[in-house]
Amino acid sequence: QSERTALKHKIRHLLKVRNAVMVSHFYVHPDLQDLAEETGGLVSDSLEMARFGRNHAAQTLVVSGVRFMGETAKILSPEKRVLMPDLDATCSLDLGCPVNEFSAFCDSHPERTVVVYANTSAAVKARADWVVTSSCAVDVVQALKEQGRKILWAPDKHLGDYVQRQTGADMLFWQGSCIVHDEFKAFELQALKADHPNAKVLVHPESPPDVVALADSVGSTSALLKAAHEMSAVTFIVATDNGMMHRLRSLNPGKIFIEAPTSGQSATCKSCAQCPWMAMNSLAGLAHVLETTSNEVHVDLELSRRAQVPIDRMLAFTA
Ligand code: 13P
Ligand code: SF4
C-alpha cells in the first residue's frame, strides 16, 4: 500500500515537472484511471482519448492503454512527446492485420471504400479512407451507405457484423477478432440471465453475434457507461473487459455489475475478461517513463501524414 501511495505521489509530481497530461483508457488499472482524472487528464474510450490528446496544450502526453492509442495520439500531434508505460502493449486486432496482406486485400477490391477500426497500426490506417471506433462506426458506415458506397471493413469481424446488421450496408470483412471479447459465450450468458431475470445486459460489439443478440445495450465503452447510468435497472451483466467495472461501479453506487461469463472462467479465475495488453500498464511503468522520458512513441512522418487523413475525417464527423 505504501509503495502504491509513493508511486502515485511521484507520478503527480513528475506530471507537473514534465508539463505532461495523462490519458487513460477505461480498461487500464483503476489507479491509472483515477490518476488521470485527478490530475486534469482524461479517462475515456478510444475516440475521446484521440481528441483530448490532440486538443490539450501539454507538450507531453502519457497514454495508458495499448499501442494504437499512443500511435494515434502521436499522429494527431507530431510535435508533442507521447509516452506509454509499456510499448509492447499491443492488441490482437492490430496483430491480426499485417499491412502487406491488408494492402493486397484492398488492392483486389479497388471499388470499395476502406473503413478500418482504430485498433490497427499506423500503416494500416495510412491505407484507409476512414478510421472509426466503436463509438461512431455505425454512423460513419450509414453515411457512406447513403452515398452509395460499398465498404471494405477491417479488422474486427464481429464489430463489422454488428455494423452491417445495423446499417444494411454492403460490407466485405477482414477476419480479425479481439481475443478478450471473443471469449464471451451466449449459452452461459443465457443461464446467467435466467439467474438474474431483472438484469440488463451490456455488450461491447467486439463480442460474438450470438452474445450481441442477448444485449439490452450494445456500444463502445463510453456508450455502455452511459447506458448503465441512464437505465433504471439495478443489476447489469457486462460483456467487456473487466477494467470497466471500476468506472461502472464508481459512477453508479447502488447498482450491481456482474461480469458476463467467458469460456475460460473457473472457480480460480473470477475475472477472465482482461486484456493482457491493457494489463501491462502499471503505476511503476508510468513513474519510470515520466522519470526517464523513455518509451516514447515514434511514427514515421510520411506514414503519419497519410494516417492522419482518415483519423481527421473521423474526428470531424464526430465533432
Ligand atoms: P472503445 O473504443 O469502446 O473504448 O474500445 C476500445 C477497445 O479496445 C475495446 O476492446
Ligand atoms: Fe485489443 Fe481486445 Fe485488448 Fe481491446 S480488449 S485492446 S480490442 S485485444
Domains of the chain, by residue range, sit at 2-89+279-299, 93-173, 181-274
Distances in whole angstroms, Cα of residue 70 to Cα of each of 7, 60, 156, 190, 266: 22, 12, 20, 37, 34
Q: Of 274, 295, 277, which is closest to residue 285 (Cα–Cα)?
A: 295
Closest ligand to Cα 275:
2
d(CA 190, CA 232): 21
What's the distance, CA 51 to chain centroid? 13
Mean pLDDT over the full length of the chain: 95
- Using DSSP's 3-state secondary structure scheme, residue 236 falls into strand
**What is the percent of the chain with per-residue pLDDT over 90, rounded to a whole number?**
95
d(CA 42, CA 69): 13
Give the nearest ligand 1 atom to 44 CA.
Answer: 4
The answer to whether residue 264 scores a pLDDT higher than 80 is: no
- Atom 4 of ligand 1, residue of closest alpha carbon: 45
The complex's ipTM?
0.98
Q: Of 228, 145, 318, 316, which is closest to residue 219 (Cα–Cα)?
A: 228
**CATH fold of the domain at 181-274:** Rossmann fold (3.40.50)
pTM for this predicted structure? 0.95
Q: What is the pLDDT of residue 73?
A: 95
- Whether 2-89+279-299 shares its CATH topology with 93-173 is answered yes
For ligand 1, the distance from its centroid to the CA atom of residue 90, given in whole angstroms, is 13
The answer to whether residue 268 scores a pLDDT higher than 90 is: no
Q: What is the pLDDT of residue 25?
A: 97
Give the nearest ligand 2 atom to 156 CA.
Answer: 7
**Bridge partners, residue 131, by sequence:** 116
Q: Taking residues 87-107, report their average pLDDT.
A: 97
Does residue 171 have its Cβ closer than 6 Å to ligand 2? no
d(CA 123, CA 88): 17
For ligand 1, the distance from its centroid to the CA atom of residue 172, given in whole angstroms, is 22
- Atom 3 of ligand 2, residue of closest alpha carbon: 275
Q: What is the pLDDT of residue 265?
A: 57
- Atom 6 of ligand 2, residue of closest alpha carbon: 91
DSSP letter string, 103-151: HHHHHT-TTSEEEEESSS-HHHHHT-SEEE-TTTHHHHHHHHHHTT--E
d(CA 297, CA 49): 15
pLDDT band, very low/low/confident/very high, at 52 (cuts 50, 70, 90):
very high
Does residue 93 have its Cβ closer than 6 Å to ligand 2? yes
What's the distance, CA 248 to chain centroid? 16
Scored b (16 or more CB within 10 A) or e, 166-203 reads: ebebebebbebbbebbbbbbbeebeebbeebeebbbbb
pLDDT band, very low/low/confident/very high, at 263 (cuts 50, 70, 90):
confident
**Mutation pick for ligand 1 pocket among 119, 159, 179, 240 (CB with most ligand atoms within 8 Å):** 119
Does residue 159 have its Cβ closer than 6 Å to ligand 2? no
Task: Classify domain 93-173 by CATH number.
Answer: 3.40.50.10800
For ligand 1, the distance from its centroid to the CA atom of residue 17, given in whole angstroms, is 31
**Ligand 1 lining (C-beta closer than 6 Å):** 45-47, 119, 133-135, 178, 206, 220-221
The answer to whether residue 266 scores a pLDDT higher than 60 is: no
For ligand 2, the distance from its centroid to the CA atom of residue 3, given in whole angstroms, is 29
Structure confidence by residue, pLDDT tens digits, 123-141: 999 999 999 999 999 999 9
CATH 3.40.50.10800 fits domain 2-89+279-299: yes
The answer to whether residue 270 scores a pLDDT higher than 60 is: no
d(CA 214, CA 189): 8
